[in-house]
Amino acid sequence: MSAPSTRSVVDARGIGRSFGEVEVLHGIDLRLEAGEIVALVGRSGSGKSTLLRVIAGLDDGFTGDLDVHGSRAVSFQEPRLLPWRSVRKNVTLNLKRPDADGLGVRALAEVGLGHRLDAWPLTLSGGEAQRASLARALVREPDLLLLDEPFGALDALTRLEAHALLTSLWREHGFAALLVTHDVEEAVLLADRILVLEDGRIAQDIAVPVARPRERGDARIVELRERILGHLGVGADVPEKETAR
Ligand code: ADP
Ligand code: MG
């Protein structure tokens, strides 16, 4: 169940970002509709995290026009949990609402961590920590979820579980999501649309015309994956270290 598709959550026009002499993003136009999952792929260093941080409101050094309609929440590759706070306290950190704790408990239950509410972050597995990070984003009831390589550090099986979880959370909540990933298969399985970032520009904007749930062996999925890998060049991206700061 996705939200109505005529309302935009992100309207970005002519976004540019330079660091010193280096122009990382040039003239990016990007529109995200409510409830839409858009994957952003590109080689390491192509500017994916830079664009995500601009849209997340974490970087105001950009040029161009950015309109975001609604609330945003971000989750990164490393879960960024504070080790001296319990999982439930991490999830509701800075959430100034009287019902914050109840919302946190509910979000943790939704991501399958209802039994780890009072656990310390360092006792969680990688997959659990990532789910706690998703719960922390979810508890803010975002219209737009910004995910920077959220599953990049997980082992293959845990990553598949995380994909299923993201899909079910999206069905339940109907947020729009911008998913930065170097994993083209992940992009093709999860997204409605895939953007290929190249030389600081959106070089391709490809709709995924396959209904969910999608099978990785589906011929259309395989074909699309090959096509996008072709756009990225041989070997595509290599797994990268998290560079967001
Ligand atoms: P990606 O996420 O696609 O791997 P990034 O957006 O992290 O790429 O980085 C794109 C380019 O911008 C890289 O060359 C990176 O070194 C540079 N860059 C990113 N953030 C900064 C920064 N704060 N200061 C200087 N250079 C940066
Ligand atoms: Mg990055």
Could you give the strand order of the β-sheet that contains 201-207, starting from the edge strand earlier in sequence? 72-75, 144-148, 176-180, 37-42, 193-198, 201-207
Residue 13 scores a pLDDT above 70: yes
Domains along the sequence of the chain with CATH? 1-71+143-237 (3.40.50.300), 81-141 (no CATH)
3-state secondary structure of 183: coil
Judge if the beta carbon of residue 181 lies within 6 A of ligand 1: no
pLDDT at 233: 87
Q: Ligand 2 being an ion, which residues bring their Cβ within 5 A of it?
A: 48-49, 243
What is the best residue among 22, 50, 198, 199 to mutate for testing ligand 1's pocket, by most ligand atoms within 8 Å of CB? 50
Q: Which region among 11-15, 113-117, 158-162 has the lowest average model confidence (pLDDT)?
A: 158-162
> Which of 18, 21, 49 best tests ligand 1's pocket when mutated (most atoms within 8 Å of CB)?
49
pTM value > 0.85: yes
Q: Quickly state the pLDDT bin for 213 (edges 50, 70, 90).
A: confident
187 band by pLDDT with thresholds 50, 70 and 90: very high
Q: Using CA positions, which residue lies closest to atom 19 of ligand 1?
A: 50
